[in-house]
Amino acid sequence: LQPKLHPFLTRKPISTRDWRKTQTCIHSFSVSYQKFVDFALDETTRHTHLLPSPLQEKYNFMKSKDGKGELSMLSYEATKIRLLRSLIIETETLQVLDFTVFPKAEYDVPIFCANFFTSAKTNIVVLDLNPLHDIIHEYDYKEKYFKSLIPLGLKYVELFPWGGKLTSESINFFSPIVIWTRFTSSPQKYDILYSAFKDYYKVWLELLGKAVKERDGSQILHNLEAQHRYLTWRAEKDPGQGVLKKLVGDSLAKDLLRSFLFNGVDELGSKTFNDYFPQYCCEEGTLNKKSNSVDKSFERRPWDARGEFIGN
């Protein structure tokens, strides 16, 4: 199998990246998320010119502490994209894809979000166009980006049943078409997940393509704060933190989260987690680290077939 080189990679090869290794599936039955990333990069270059991000120099390839796992990272930027980044983790027992694209603050386009965690027993999946603004209360924002996408969401509702209880913050970051699911491993499920990923990414690219640059300074600030709030949530609460720490140790995991995965959390704004999410602050004023100490709810999908919120 010849490794496939993207046009921008042939201009500036990323030497530390071993394409062949990531393309080879070392497990007897397991998924490789590499083709998801390849698809997304190919598709993005059809729409826009991708440039390697300055982050690429530092974040590209890492071995886990025990030497048995590999973490592969890619990052790019483009005219309308502040950061497109992906992390693939492959160990003997798990595969992870964390692929997110953050538009620049001049665009109020949703954040593309694909988080897939696969172990021998289970798969935990979030695939969504995370809305930048409150779509439960801001009718216009929901109309602008999600009204036309409801049929796409419905296509996958039956195939991927609701994954169970969540915090209300996660729900606020999710859209009416979110795929939030858990399933036991099967090749058929990965095929469906791959087609959902392709469908969702293609419609997201269309939204981005159509987006018009915002000129109003206060609206740009509003978008920027929404991006920062999102980064602050995810850098602090990412359920993958425990896995990352186990693989690469506490300080590298923290660095990966704050400087790579949720890059911008320390630069795009000065508000803290506490400012944005005061409900997570316990009496002494220290952050409540346990995710399950704040009530989780939404046992069922809190949107109806028309994309109306029915959670309350």
H runs (alpha helix) in 48-149: 139-145
H runs (alpha helix) in the chain: 7-11, 19-23, 34-47, 139-145, 150-157, 168-173, 187-210, 217-237, 241-248, 250-255, 273-276
CA dist 149 and 236 (Å) reads 30
Cβ 96 to ligand BLA, closest distance in Å? 5
**Among the listed residues 107, 156, 173, 190, the single contact to ligand BLA using CB under 6 A:** 173
Closer Cβ to ligand BLA, 107 or 180, answer by number:
180
Residue 170 makes contact with ligand BLA by CB under 6 A: yes
Cβ 218 to ligand BLA, closest distance in Å? 25
Placement of tokens 């500036």 in the chain: 12
CB atoms near residue 155 (< 10 Å): 13
Residue 166 makes contact with ligand BLA by CB under 6 A: yes
CA dist 177 and 307 (Å) reads 8
CA dist 133 and 108 (Å) reads 8
Q: What angle do CA 14, 51, 11 make, to 5 degrees?
A: 50
Closer Cβ to ligand BLA, 47 or 260, answer by number:
260
Residue 151 makes contact with ligand BLA by CB under 6 A: no
Cβ 101 to ligand BLA, closest distance in Å? 13
Let me know: does 309 contact 152? Beta carbons within 8 Å.
Answer: no
CB atoms near residue 68 (< 10 Å): 12
CA dist 175 and 162 (Å) reads 13
Query: Judged by CB under 6 A, which stretch of 46-54, 59-67, 102-110, 165-173 contacts ligand BLA?
Result: 165-173
Query: Judged by CB under 6 A, which stretch of 14-22, 122-130, 207-215, 216-224 contacts ligand BLA?
Result: 122-130
Residue 124 makes contact with ligand BLA by CB under 6 A: yes
Residue 32 makes contact with ligand BLA by CB under 6 A: no
Cβ 163 to ligand BLA, closest distance in Å? 7
- Residues 238-257 vs ligand BLA: string with x where CB under 6 A? -xx--xx-------------
Residue 74 makes contact with ligand BLA by CB under 6 A: no
Residue 113 makes contact with ligand BLA by CB under 6 A: yes
Which residues contact ligand BLA (rule: CB under 6 A)?
89, 96, 98, 113, 115, 117, 124, 126, 130, 166-167, 170, 173, 234, 239-240, 243-244, 291
